[in-house]
Amino acid sequence: MMSDGAPRGAKNVLVTGGAGFIGSHLVERLLADGHRVTVLDDLSTGHMRNLSEAKESGRLAAHIVDVSDYARILPHFKGVQWVFHLAALADIVPSIVDPLKYHRANVDSTAAVLEAARQSGAERFIYAASSSCYGLPDAFPTPETAAIRPMYPYALTKWIGEQYVLHWAKTYKMSAVALRLFNVYGPRARTSGTYGAVFGVFLAQKLAGKPYTIVGDGTQTRDFTYVTDVADAFAAAAASDVTGECFNVGSGGTYSVNELARLLGGPTTSVPKRPGEPDQTFADIAKIKARLGWSPKVAFPDGVKRVLEHIELWRGAPVWEPETIHEATKEWFRHLG
Ligand code: NAD
């Protein structure tokens, strides 16, 4: 053991966006593995309270900084061996309303973080890419070789970020991979702000005793992937030496919105189906299983049960109703319709 309690072989790791939903679970996982963790986060959507348990380890340092600011982040990369880049703005409608803000947060930041990692000689770089790059896919389950069809600026910026990562891998021989995440859910998922992911919407409605607002007929399915499985995938990616590749990270299944409502229990109502949204998301995870030896462990009903045990985290989240959803998605229909 070293004096800070880290075991021999522990790495110095840096997680951007570590105060966010997935980032904070990844930080907990890395600390449990014995590593020393530095978090860079500007708290634009994340919260320090997400790291309250992680702080108890004594091996976590968290800094509030905008990661698109290369000069300010560079000193934090000194001695860092593994970099996990999760910082991003991740909502659909705001990305349609303010594409420049999304470009700065998701593309400029990725270039700055990559360059800081390269200049400081980091050994390994893992990027949180998004399955939204597939848009409306032709094939299910969808393999990494499927056509790239971003349907809105968020998807486009995450895809461009992925291209930067793979380009740094090729040009500068940086050891890097991108993980294309599918519909991640679990405790601490973003609750504030704009109308977004179905879990947060339904859980706040459940707490308020309101009906779940099902989009369309609810038969659309999503590859809901539990957040600790995603943290495992990041850990497996860091430990491997595969480079210059992208990998789907999914649950191995796909579940309808009606099924989610049934598992949560309670009445439902319907809001109009939206343009640009797929009827199905379903990752082909053969590549990550074979190359990184990762597979998901948490079955969907168990994941939903775990989320319900933490439902109080959604107290205070906005409670959406058909009228407010209509208002919040006007720009969506206007531009994508
Ligand atoms: P989140 O909003 O909870 O986390 C993002 C974090 O990044 C927040 O803590 C935020 O404060 C921080 N951040 C944003 N801009 C920043 C900047 N310029 N400088 C420093 N910090 C900044 O979202 P999440 O769901 O945990 O997403 C994490 C990553 O995973 C994102 O890159 C997202 O695109 C990707 N992803 C998420 C999902 C999903 O289903 N949640 C799916 C695919 C990809």
User: Is 154 known to be catalytic?
Assistant: yes
Are 26 and 87 part of one and the same domain?
yes
Q: From CA 187, how far away is CA 201, in angstroms rounded?
A: 13
CATH number of the domain enclosing 320: 3.90.25.10
Q: Are 89 and 102 in contact (CB under 8 A)?
A: yes
**Distance from the first to the final alpha carbon of the chain:** 59
Same domain, 130 and 18: yes
| Predicted confidence band of residue 225 (pLDDT cuts 50, 70, 90) | very high
Q: Please name which of 13, 216, 270 lies closest in space to residue 125, comparing C-alpha atoms.
A: 13
Antiparallel, parallel or unpaired: β 221-222 and 255-256: antiparallel
Q: Kindly give the distance from the C-alpha atom of residue 266 to the centroid of ligand 1, in angstroms, as a whole number.
A: 30
23 and 157 together in one domain: yes
| Residue 198 pLDDT > 50 | yes
Backbone torsions φ then ψ of 149, nearest 5 degrees: -140, 70
Residue nearest to atom 21 of ligand 1 (CA): 41
Lowest model confidence (mean pLDDT) among 64-78, 121-135, 200-214, 314-328: 314-328
pLDDT of residue 296: 98
DSSP states of 101-115: HHHIIIIIHHHHHHH
Share of the chain above pLDDT 70, in %: 99
* Ligand 1 pocket check for 89: Cβ under 6 Å: yes
Residue 30 and residue 144 in one domain: yes
Distance CA 133, CA 244 (A): 17
Owning domain of residue 262: 198-222+254-281+299-336
Ligand 1 centroid–CA 108 distance in Å is 14
Q: Say if residue 172 is in the same domain as residue 208.
A: no
Question: Which of 49, 84, 85, 86 has most ligand 1 atoms within 8 Å of its beta carbon, as the pocket-test mutant?
Answer: 86
Question: What residue's CA is closest to ligand 1, atom 1?
Answer: 20
Residue with tokens 């959507």, as numbered in its chain: 45
Burial 71-108, CB ≥16 within 10 A → b, else e: eebeebbeebbbbbbbbbbbbbbbbbeeeeebbebbbb
Per the CB < 8 A criterion, the answer to whether 55 and 28 are in contact is no
Residue 117 lies in a domain: yes
Across the range 302-327, mean pLDDT stands at 93
Averaged confidence pLDDT in the chain: 95
Quote the ligand 1 centre to 145 CA distance (angstroms). 25
Number of domains in the chain: 2
CA 244–ligand 1 middle distance (angstroms)? 22
CA distances 303 to 17, 186, 309, Å, are 23, 7, 10
Range of weakest confidence among 3-12, 154-163, 200-209 = 3-12
Indicate if 263 and 317 belong to the same structural domain.
yes
In 3D space, the residue among 293, 296, 291, 181 whose CA is nearest the CA of residue 244 turns out to be: 291
Residue 45 near residue 192, CB atoms below 8 Å = yes
Give the pLDDT of residue 2.
52
Q: Which residue has its alpha carbon closest to ligand 1 atom 19?
A: 66
Q: What is the mean pLDDT of residues 160-187?
A: 98
Band of pLDDT at residue 38, cut at 50, 70 and 90: very high
The verdict on residue 258 lying in a domain is yes
Four-CA torsion 166, 168, 172, 173, nearest 10 degrees: -30
**Predicted confidence (pLDDT) per residue in 234-274, tens digit:** 999 999 999 999 999 999 999 999 999 999 999 999 999 88
Please say whether the beta carbons of 161 and 168 come within 8 A. no
Is residue 81 domain-shared with residue 159, that is, in the same domain? yes
On whether residue 293 sits in a domain, the answer given is no
Each residue of 272-288: pLDDT tens digit?
988 878 899 999 999 99
161 and 215 within one domain: no
Classify residue 294: in a domain, yes or no.
no
Asked if the structure places residue 123 within a domain, the reply is yes
| 276 Cβ neighbours under 8 A, 6+ residues apart | 135, 136, 151, 152, 332, 336
Residue nearest ligand 1's atom 17 by CA: 66
Tell which atom from ligand 1 comes closest to the C-alpha of 66.
19
Q: Report which ligand 1 atom has the smallest distance to the Cα of 47.
A: 9
Cβ atoms of 249 and 142 closer than 8 Å:
no
The reply to whether 290 falls in a domain is no
**pLDDT band of 231, cuts 50, 70, 90:** very high
**How much distance in Å is there from the Cα of 178 to the middle of ligand 1?**
14
Query: Residue 8: helix, strand or coil by DSSP?
Result: coil
Q: Same domain for 80 and 202?
A: no
Ramachandran class of 293: left when φ > 0, alpha when ψ lies in -120 to 50, beta otherwise: left
Mean of pLDDT values over 182-197 = 86
Q: Are 208 and 149 within one domain?
A: no
pLDDT band at 3 (very low <50, low <70, confident <90, very high): low
Report yes or no on 3 lying in a domain: no
Within this chain, do residues 53 and 142 fall inside the same structural domain, yes or no?
Answer: yes
Both 139 and 79 in one domain: the answer is yes
**Residue from 127, 154, 185, 195 carrying the catalytic annotation:** 154
Q: How far is the CA of 89 from the centre of ligand 1 (A)?
A: 6
Indicate whether residue 81 lines ligand 1 (CB < 6 A): no
Dihedral sign for Cα 158, 103, 192, 62, please: positive
Question: Does residue 271 fall inside a structural domain?
Answer: yes
6 pLDDT above the threshold of 90: no
CATH number where 30 lies: 3.40.50.720
pLDDT digits 0-9 by tens, 199-222: 999 999 999 999 999 999 999 999
Q: Is 51's C-beta closer than 6 angstroms to any atom of ligand 1? A: no
Pocket test for ligand 1, best of 22, 67, 113, 165 (most atoms within 8 A of CB): 22
Q: How far apart are CA 189 and CA 203, in angstroms?
A: 11
Any atom of ligand 1 within 6 Å of the Cβ of 162:
no
